[in-house]
Amino acid sequence: MTKADLILTNARIRTMDRDAPFAQALAVAGGRIVGVGTTSDMEPLTGPGTRVYNLHGRAVLPGLIDSHTHGLWGAVRDTLEVFVGFGASHQELLDAIQRRVAQKPPGDWLLAGPWKIPLRAELGPRPADLLDRIAPDTPVVVKDITHHAFWVNSAAMRRAGITADTPNPAGGEIERDAQGQPTGILNEAAVALVADAAAHSTETLAGAVDYLVRYFNAQGITGFKEPMAFEADLRAYADADDAGRLTLHMAAHLSRQSPFDATMTPMQTLADWRRRYARPHLKTGYAKLFLDGVAPSHTASFFDAYVGTDPATHDPDRVLLLPPEVIAAEVTALDAAGFTVKMHAVGDRAANAGLDAIEAARRANGPSNLRHEIAHAAFVARGDIRRFHALDAVAEVSPKLWYPNAVTDGQRAVLGAARVDRCHPVRDLLDAGAEVIFGSDWSAAAMAPAPWQGLAGLISRRDPTGQFSGTVGADQAIGLDDALRLMTVNAARAMGRQDQTGQLKPGFSADLVVVPTPLEDLTPEGIGAIDPLATLFEGRVVHGGL
């Protein structure tokens, strides 16, 4: 019998295995779980070299998986960019930019954020002027909270060649004043005009991967899905895995198209990326489409009109980034090529169009083991709830709009309180048999991945930190076990690793997190405040200690 390298005893183990949901002890050998049960069950697995740890009643559960997190975006933001937090004022942001400008050579790009689209009026008729006063020679790009709109200065526009004669790119807008001059606001696909010029180097991305690995492991995260990957991202992740530095299971959705560039990545290029960058810890058989934008800028596609706009002239398909027939053709083609598709869909019409596309793919290609995802699934029409199960589609709930936070007031201002209260119908989806997964959308729409706060919000629909009062959709709260499945079992299946991680059972990778107190003994606020004592990846301690 194989002897264990490591045994944990006297623990409160939540396995997420429905056949044996709880245990007291767990044994690991060669990075895999070889035994789960009672302390006495571990005796035959104990050898002279086995390290045995008594956890004295501490809790153990599978490592968490974030199914939608822009790992490199967030890591670069935290390590290289000016970031003032979602609660900062625009003046505080400008002050921080001014301090950083003084530290940089004039010609180097400076990236910063976030600014707030609902407070656009604060920036005046030409927002570029505010940046010009503090950075006349340094090209500055300021991202909004969602990364769907950039605020830039004149130096950035000069470097990017943006003038009054520059046409709006397909799917984007260069905001202009009454004289037709660019104001410094770039929306949706127009952000691509500066994004490429401000891109970070390969060396910078390598350091960012190391940062995000440490950051995620420290929060108990042992797996994630990168929702929009380009070649530079894939290279950075693959290099990290080659060097043994990627202590995360991950999957990368290759960008077929994005709001930053209306140009489609050729299918052959996607196939090439899938082949060249696949690694043991990096799955690449995934693709990404964007169907709409975000609510604050009125670019999310809703069946009903935005607050303050004329319902008679409302056309939800006008703001779809791709016509419905093109969405269907794209999903059908990607499905046939073996890619699992994640579709950004904030508005309920966008989610509806995504489900229509999955249905078209099923009709054209027949049954498939590819389970396509509606990303964010923030707003789903009642008639579409049951379609997720019928189409074997996955509802990814992201970002954390299911409890009050920094963006909730902005959502209510453009959508109305009643519609926001229908945000993320998680209970309805689960009751209808849909498979649901969790995504933080860090750093595009979340201050931090904060998986424990996200978990607490799912079971209470209130802010576990107490910073924001009230609830969002209180009737959609779900139980602890169901909420954990979004972040473990379901997420592992969405990564194609359902036989490898997401549960603590023999044969599975020893990916687990140790926390001070069993979750069932904690209030939602206590869950939100969890600070893991240790995280293990493939049986190796990658954060904290036992």
For 159-211, the pLDDT digits (tens) are 999 999 999 998 889 999 999 999 999 998 898 898 776 777 778 889 999 99
Classify domain 6-62+507-544 at the CATH topology level.
Urease, subunit C; domain 1 (2.30.40)
Instruction: Say what percent of the chain tops pLDDT 90.
Output: 85
Are 289 and 322 spatial neighbours (Cβ–Cβ below 8 Å)?
yes
Confidence label for 274 from pLDDT (cuts 50, 70 and 90): very high
Are 518 and 500 spatial neighbours (Cβ–Cβ below 8 Å)?
no
Max CA distance (Å), the chain? 81
* DSSP-H helix ranges across 62-170: 71-80, 90-101, 128-134, 154-160
Q: Which residue in the block uniquely carries the two structure tokens 């069993």?
A: 518
From 338, 425, 419, 422, select the one nearest 374 (Cα to Cα).
425
- Amino acid identity, residue 287? A
- All CATH 3.20.20.140 domain ranges in the chain, comma separated: 202-494
Q: What is the distance between the alpha carbons of residues 420 and 415, in angstroms, rounded to a whole number?
A: 7
Residue 233 has pLDDT above 70, yes or no: yes
Output the CA angle 57-59-61, nearest 5 degrees: 150
For 283-295, the pLDDT digits (tens) are 999 999 999 999 9
Residue 528 has pLDDT above 80, yes or no: yes
Q: What is the distance between the alpha carbons of residues 346 and 415, in angstroms, rounded to a whole number?
A: 12
For 411-467, list the strands marked E by DSSP: 435-438
Residue 445 has pLDDT above 80, yes or no: no
Residues constituting the chain: 546
Residue 74 has pLDDT above 70, yes or no: yes
- All CATH 2.30.40.10 domain ranges in the chain, comma separated: 6-62+507-544
pLDDT score of 215: 97
Helix 71-80 and helix 202-218, axial crossing angle in degrees, nearest 10: 100
Residue 230 has pLDDT above 70, yes or no: yes
Average pLDDT value for the chain? 94
Residue 262 has pLDDT above 80, yes or no: no
Residue 319 has pLDDT above 70, yes or no: yes
Question: Measured between alpha carbons, how far is residue 187 from residues 149, 259, 489 in Å?
Answer: 4, 9, 37
Confidence label for 80 from pLDDT (cuts 50, 70 and 90): confident
pLDDT score of 200: 75
Residue 482 has pLDDT above 80, yes or no: yes
Lowest mean pLDDT among 103-107, 160-164, 533-537: 103-107
Lowest mean pLDDT among 94-108, 276-290, 339-353, 382-396: 94-108
Decide: pTM greater than 0.85.
yes
- All CATH 3.10.310.70 domain ranges in the chain, comma separated: 88-195
The structural architecture, per CATH, of the domain 202-494 is Alpha-Beta Barrel (3.20)
Confidence label for 261 from pLDDT (cuts 50, 70 and 90): low
Instruction: Say what percent of the chain tops pLDDT 70.
Output: 99
Confidence label for 322 from pLDDT (cuts 50, 70 and 90): very high
Classify domain 88-195 at the CATH topology level.
Diaminopimelate Epimerase; Chain A, domain 1 (3.10.310)
